[in-house]
Amino acid sequence: MLTSRVPLFSRFFLAGVLLSVLGLSACTSGPSVAELDALTDSVVKASFRTQGQARVERVTQTDETNRLCSQADVAGQPLDEKAAKAIEAANLKTIRWPSDGRFLGDWKQGEQIAQSGRGLTWTDDDKTPNGGNCYNCHQIDAKEISYGTIGPSLLHYGKIRGVTDPNSAAAKPIVEYTWGKIWNAKAYNACSNMPRAGHMGILTEAQVRHIVALLLDPQSPVNK
């Protein structure tokens, strides 16, 4: 069943797995990209189905950013600098800044969103807001004993960046970067593993605002 909480297989990764199973990966002349695509399509059609809000299109449809990053991943080499900069520039243009100019919301609501990993699976009510699942990848609160380490620790995120008043002009660059990173992480790191929470509609503008507050508000447990 499709889920947004486990990273989706790329088209190339799926094809690579199938080739390995079939014992074809050792061939001296590998298949073309078109052949891999066709093979992957057959795997997807046989193995996935749409049910509720979990749709097959999450696997079969990919944008240029994902395609290029998947190719680089399969090749075992990072993107060249020119391609990476082009991807970041394209994704930077997709960031939707706060419609009312307010970057910070309520850090207490932000903590609830960060703790929640629900949403976008076929068993979830699509009328209920999704969670951010932030603890799955980051340390955020020193009191938490369970958190992921895929991403960097966010403990003291605002404090170590010198943000004492997130509404001040001095804090503006960090505030804007934090918003942008949550909205579309690939604007700052072309092949980041971080979900493009705002861009992909995982979190609403209001939810992003609360997460920014969680990270930057001096009263948040993050900065204590």
Considering the chain, what is the average pLDDT of its residues? Answer: 84
* Percent of the chain whose pLDDT exceeds 70: 83
Tens-place pLDDT, residues 26-57: 445 667 767 776 777 788 778 888 887 777 77
| Average pLDDT for 98-104 | 96
CATH number, domain 107-223: 1.10.760.10
Question: Which pLDDT does position 31 carry in this prediction?
Answer: 72
Is 70 within 8 Å of 14 (Cβ atoms)?
A: no
Confidence of residue 2 (pLDDT cuts 50, 70, 90): very low
Q: Where are the domains of the chain?
A: 11-92, 107-223
- For residue 93, the cross-strand partners are none
Question: Which pLDDT does position 151 carry in this prediction?
Answer: 95
Tell me the C-alpha to C-alpha distance, in Å, between residue 212 and each of 92, 113, 136: 18, 11, 17
Give burial (CB, 10 Å; 0-12/13-18/19+) of 80. exposed
Is 140 within 8 Å of 224 (Cβ atoms)?
A: no
Question: Which pLDDT does position 10 carry in this prediction?
Answer: 46
Residue in 158, 199, 156 with CA at minimum distance from that of residue 175 = 158
pTM as predicted: 0.79
Using the predicted structure, report yes or no on whether residue 22 has a pLDDT greater than 50. no
Using the predicted structure, report yes or no on whether residue 148 has a pLDDT greater than 70. yes
Question: Which pLDDT does position 8 carry in this prediction?
Answer: 41
Question: Which pLDDT does position 12 carry in this prediction?
Answer: 47
Residue 54: φ, ψ to 5°: -85, 105
Count CB neighbours of 101 within 10 A: 6
